[in-house]
Amino acid sequence: MTRLVVRGARYPGDIAVEDGVITAIGTVEALPGDEVLAVDGDIATAGLVNTHHHLYQWMTRGRATGCNLFEWLVHLYPIWNRLSVEDVRAAALVGLGELAASGCTTASDHHYLVPGGDDSVFDAIADAAGEVGIRLFLSRGSMDLGESRGGLPPDRVVEDRDAILASTEAVAARHHDGDMVHVVVAPCSPFSVTTELMVESAELARKLGLRLHTHLCETIEEQQHCLERFGRRPVEMLEEWGWVGDDVWLAHGIHIDDAEMRILGDAGTGVAHCPSSNARIASGMCRVTDLMAAGCPVGLGVDGVASNEVGGLFPELRQALYTARLREMRPDALMPSEVLEIGTHGGARCLGLDDVGRLSPGMRADLVVWPGDDL
């Protein structure tokens, strides 16, 4: 296979790539037969890693403004449940395209609405990722607790637990290759799933060697739901369900106390930090530096465009930087280099990727070249 030499980057210099793997960095002598890509004066970085997204939400940008999370969801559930497989594929193409254009090479999509149990929607999302050429974590989301049983979503948008688990296994059989597509077991949230689904999902994921993902500790209302329903805080329930481990990452992770943080950090459980979405919904500010100090991998997430309006990951770097400084009231709470590390290697750690997220020999060549002509 032809070797690629990325020549002349201001940082980190030349990069040699063979079979999709970085083989050398610095000064690389081009050999006969090499393909040379001249990027004189530009900057190369590892590709950004989006650890939490809902691609289908491209269809509902700008709705339910001025709502908290529960109000926002109640407004949008009925609309989302009417989206066809073709609608979701179109949204995935646009969403993944914008992510790629913003420097993202790996994306996690958490899709938890499956009208009529038609799981071909996951085929559509995987096809879209293949067309765009982005590495996909395809999270087979689910909800089985409707409002008649104490959940938030309308009964008509939830699924049967046994059907969910069977579908999850089938989607994994169709798409999980451990390379460009990773299937993830991903019940939606404490207020939309049963205890049984959480426990059995963890068992299924570990049987199949898949990762686990869910929303947790996003809002005070969610915390109150857990206290009223279970008599315990969210992370305590997570631990009881078998959902604490280094094969798990959580979306948002805002309202976590010190004891819960120690539980997650000791286990290496990751957190997808979604600063723009958190601000749009007024959910709160994630304790990013505390989470990292406790041992939690932390990555960045766009969340859905319905709670963000912007679908690229690059803007989240700036938002994360300023949110950390605002929360801690310290101008050095996070520095730009640290935020870039969160958006690349931190995200890769959340997703269990040990060969993505940094530019060094032996790592996958998931890299991005940024124009340097205005520096």
In contact, 206 and 244? CB cutoff 8 Å: no
Residue 210 confidence class, pLDDT cut points 50, 70, 90: very high
User: In angstroms, rounded to a whole number, what is the distance separating the alpha carbons of residues 140 and 355?
Assistant: 24
SS (H, E, C) 34-62: CEEEECCCCEEEECEEECCEEHHHHHHCC
Reported as a pLDDT band with limits 50, 70 and 90, residue 240 is very high
So what's the pLDDT on residue 232?
95
Cα atoms in the 13 Å half-sphere on the side-chain side of 282: 8
Q: Name residues whose C-beta falls within 8 Å of residue 73's C-beta, 6 or more positions apart in sequence.
A: 152, 153
pLDDT at 374 over 90: no
Q: Stretch 104-118: mean pLDDT, rounded? A: 96
Share above pLDDT 70 across residues of the chain, in percent, rounded to a whole number: 100
Whether the per-residue pLDDT at 375 is higher than 90: the answer is no
Domain spans of the chain? 4-44+362-370, 48-350
CA distance between the termini of the chain? 35
- 44 - beta bridge partners? 369
Give pLDDT, residue 239. Answer: 97
User: Residue 1: pLDDT above 80?
Assistant: no
Is the pLDDT at 89 greater than 90? The verdict is yes
User: Across residues 329-352, what is the average pLDDT?
Assistant: 98
Which pLDDT does position 330 carry in this prediction?
98
Three-class DSSP labels, 327-369: HHCCCCCCCHHHHHHHHHHHHHHHCCCCCCCCCCCCCECCEEE
Note if the pTM is more than 0.85: yes
Mean pLDDT, residues 91-106:
98
Q: Which CATH class is domain 4-44+362-370?
A: mainly beta
pLDDT at residue 55, rounded to an integer: 98
Burial class (CB in 10 A: 0-12, 13-18, 19+), 11: exposed
Six token digits for residue 163:
């059907």
**Cα–Cα distances in Å, from 202 out to 39, 181, 211?**
45, 20, 9
C-alpha atoms less than 13 angstroms from C-alpha of 175 in its C-beta half-sphere: 31
Q: Write the CB contacts of 162 (distance below 8 Å, at least 6 apart in sequence).
A: none
**What is residue 367's predicted lDDT score, i.e. its pLDDT?**
96
With a pLDDT cut of 90, the percent of the chain lying above it is 97
Q: Is the pLDDT of residue 334 over 90?
A: yes
pLDDT of 373 reads: 84
The token pair that represents 5 in the structure block: 């030499």
Report the mean per-residue pLDDT for the chain.
97
The dihedral formed by the CA atoms of 57, 58, 60 and 62, expressed in degrees to the nearest 10 = 110
**Cα pseudo-dihedral 186, 192, 197, 203, rounded to 10:** 30
Fold adopted by 48-350: TIM Barrel (3.20.20)
